[in-house]
């Protein structure tokens, strides 16, 4: 016989806690969206700087160094990985939604399979986002190194 733990919180405190949990989840989701936007904005700005510098060097008949092209490639890779992460996220959310429908309707429509697929896509999203963030940092660092050593 298992003994049920006595809850040390009042009903009001539990209700406040549930609301806090909901707000925390919403804020976490909002923060993740902001990070995606930040990666895209910073990478886009870095790509623009690379292209404008290449244009400037070409107009002034100066050599275009690999150290200038490399950051552009990393920054472009960050944008592409972020886009792939968005597509994978869409699939993860779709399978999670389908799993929830199965559970709510208590229907044998493959809830476990949808849950496994949602987890698989969620892990892929985390990897894509990590690669995107690392690519952005490497690209920006290389761009700063280029400008500090070249001009």
pLDDT value of position 79: 98
Q: What is the mean pLDDT of each run of 10 residues along the chain (151 residues)?
A: 61 81 79 90 98 96 94 98 95 90 81 92 95 98 96 78
Structure tokens at 87: 């597509």
pLDDT value of position 39: 96
Is 3 a member of any domain? Answer: no
Is 55 a member of any domain? Answer: yes
Domains held by the chain: number: 1
Is 5 a member of any domain? Answer: no
pLDDT value of position 45: 98
Is 23 a member of any domain? Answer: yes
Domain region containing 86: 11-150
pLDDT value of position 2: 53
Is 57 a member of any domain? Answer: yes
pTM attached to this predicted model: 0.80
pLDDT value of position 6: 57
Give CA torsion, residues 51, 43, 137, 141, to 10 deg. Answer: 30
Is 54 a member of any domain? Answer: yes
Within 10 angstroms of residue 78's Cβ, the number of other Cβ atoms is: 27
């Amino acid at each position: 016989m298992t003994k049920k733990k006595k809850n040390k919180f009042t009903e009001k405190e539990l209700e406040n806690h549930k609301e806090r949990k909901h707000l925390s989840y919403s804020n976490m989701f909002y923060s993740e969206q902001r990070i995606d936007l930040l990666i895209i904005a910073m990478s886009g700005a870095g790509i623009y700087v690379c292209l404008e510098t290449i244009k400037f060097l070409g107009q002034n008949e100066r050599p275009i160094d690999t150290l200038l092209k490399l950051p552009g490639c990393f920054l472009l890779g960050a944008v592409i990985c972020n886009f792939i992460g968005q597509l994978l996220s869409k699939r993860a959310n779709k399978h999670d939604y389908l799993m929830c429908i199965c559970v709510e309707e208590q229907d044998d429509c493959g809830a476990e399979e949808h849950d496994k697929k949602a987890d698989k896509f969620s892990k892929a999203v985390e990897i894509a986002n990590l690669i995107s963030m690392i690519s952005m940092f490497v690209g920006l660092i290389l761009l700063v190194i280029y400008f500090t050593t070249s001009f």
